[in-house]
Amino acid sequence: GESVGLHLPTLSVQEGDNSIINCAYSNSASDYFIWYKQESGKGPQFIIDIRSNMDKRQGQRVTVLLNKTVKHLSLQIAATQPGDSAVYFCAENSGGSNYKLTFGKGTLLTVNP
């Protein structure tokens, strides 16, 4: 079964607000995590990744935080825009050497204008 799950299946925010999407993982051997954005009817797109030797990584308007103590991952989107509306997935490598990812179920983010 899946070892990566999400706390909130849906999230609705106002345009301009910050969004936080959470993810819990259960495999302590996982050392690589990645966030994907999937718009309706399309394939997932890479957003940002983080390795377990880091606690925080920033990209353009996005920040990923990793708390290894409680096995928690979050994606923060600053100044959320309508174009950010999508399903967001976290994924982990489960510590394997075969370069496979295990995906969570996803969170639907809706941005209201």
Partner 1 sequence: SQTIHQWPATLVQPVGSPLSLECTVEGTSNPNLYWYRQAAGRGLQLLFYSVGIGQISSEVPQNLSASRPQDRQFILSSKKLLLSDSGFYLCAWSFKASYEQYFGPGTRLTVT
Instruction: List contacts with partner 1 (CB under 8 A).
Output: 2, 32, 34, 36, 41-46, 49, 89, 93, 98-106
Considering all CA atoms of the chain, what is the largest pairwise distance in Å, rounded to the nearest integer? Answer: 44
Of 6 and 111, CB closest to partner 1: 6
Q: Smallest distance from the beta carbon of 65 to partner 1, in angstroms? A: 19
Rounded to 5 degrees, φ, ψ at 90 are -100, 155
Task: Give, in order, the Cα–Cα distances in Å from 46 to each of 23, 59, 69, 70, 89.
Answer: 16, 12, 25, 24, 10
Residue 73 CB neighbours (<10 A): 25
Q: Smallest distance from the beta carbon of 99 to partner 1, in angstroms? A: 6
Q: Smallest distance from the beta carbon of 79 to partner 1, in angstroms? A: 26
- For residue 69, the 8-state DSSP code is T
Of 60 and 113, CB closest to partner 1: 60
Of 60 and 98, CB closest to partner 1: 98
